[in-house]
Homo-oligomer: A and B are copies of this chain.
Amino acid sequence: MTGGSENGLSVVALAGGVGGARLIDGLDRVLPPGSLTAVVNTGDDFEHWGLHISPDLDTVMYTLAGLAPEDRGWGIGGDTFEVLGEARRRGVDDWFQLGDRDLVTHLFRTKAMSGGKSLTQTTATLCKALGVERPILPMSDEPCPTTILTRRGEELAFQEWLVKERAALPVSNVRHGGSGETTRSVVDALNLADLIVICPSNPYVSIDPILGLTGIKEAVRLKPTVAVSPILGGKAVKGPLAAMISEIDGRPPSAEAVAAHYEDLLGGYAVHPGDSFEAPYPTLETNVHIQTIDDRVRFAGELIAFARKLK
């Protein structure tokens, strides 16, 4: 890997929700201040109760703030649900679980954006209030809605498919909407990066939305890039990825299938023990299941050391 001294190392992590957030947290803990930028999927963003909700940005922000729950992949740990309970009593649409503390994020994001602030600016303000100093950049300031196309011919907004329909409808394809524009901040971060990390997120609905934006794939291709497999022993740690690989790409879910999806972008790949395959680039085989803080730190350290040795 090219790039400066440890203090000068610039890392950009492309991420979706939980898996991405945990790796970013690990990287955040092992890299010196000023070296990490997270570029986060906003294809899942949607409006609910009139509020702008950014599930992946929030998961990354809450994880870095130490607020994410241990036992589920959304919201704030120990949150209460008084507002949701009242909404239910009044017969209001309640399929999306909004905690009371979590709600403050959506209220103030919505207010700031209706006052003309960009999602990038708003995310920075929200992060600051929670003591999160490392930059978390939305992949775009424009709406980029991800639509799930089902085998039965339905078209569903991603969160509706995932949460309301519990990811039960087989997927035929995924459509990435919007203008396709990223932001100046993302472009600058990519241009300055010594290393790009593709987090262990769902390639179809977390990473593809980012890579599909104008200029991103080209910028990533110019840099040393390592990905982390989100498939462990043929199974996804969380979420609907395993089924999607079969349904969309028609192959069994595996670390290799995910790597094939990223085609020529990879300069290195981290997989779980037993998941290695014959790859045209170096592979780091180690425990990539990073639930605890210790696991995150251990794995992030291994990943950075691995990336440093790449040509």
Contact = CB atoms under 8 A, between A and B. Distances in A.
A100 interface: yes
B114 A92 contact: no
Contact of A87 (B86, B104, B114): B104
A103 interface: yes
A86 B108 contact: no
Contacts of A111: 49-50
Contact of A110 (B50, B82, B129): B50
Interface string A67-106: 0000000000000101100110011100000001101100
Interface in A115-160: 129-130
Contacts of A310: none
A100 B86 contact: yes
Nearest to A88: B104
A90 B50 contact: no
Contact of A104 (B51, B86, B110, B130): B86
Contacts of A110: 50
Contacts of A129: 90-92
Contact of A83 (B49, B83, B92): B83
B82 A108 contact: no
A107 interface: yes
Please state the number of chain copies in the assembly: 2
A128 B21 CA distance: 42
Interface string A16-33: 000000000000000000
A49 B110 CA distance: 9
Nearest to A92: B108
A91 B111 CA distance: 15
B82 A101 contact: yes
A90 B62 CA distance: 13
Question: Considering residues A49, A83, A103, A108, which has the most beta carbons from chain B within 10 angstroms of its beta carbon?
Answer: A83
A114 B50 contact: yes
Contact of A82 (B49, B82, B91): B82
Interface in A16-61: 49-51
Interface in A188-221: none
Given A49-B111, A50-B114, A111-B50, A104 B80 contact: no
Contacts of A130: 90
Question: Considering residues A87, A91, A104, A108, which has the most beta carbons from chain B within 10 angstroms of its beta carbon?
Answer: A104
Given A86-B103, A90-B104, 5 more contacts: A50-B107, A50-B114, A51-B107, A86-B100, A92-B104
Interface of A: 49-51, 80, 82-83, 86-87, 90-92, 100-101, 103-104, 107-108, 110-111, 114, 129-130
16 contacts: A49-B108, A50-B107, A50-B108, A50-B111, A83-B100, A83-B104, A86-B103, A86-B104, A87-B107, A90-B108, A90-B129, A90-B130, A91-B129, A92-B108, A100-B100, A103-B103
7 shortest A-B CB distances, which residue pairs?
Answer: A50-B111, A82-B100, A86-B101, A90-B129, A86-B104, A80-B82, A83-B100
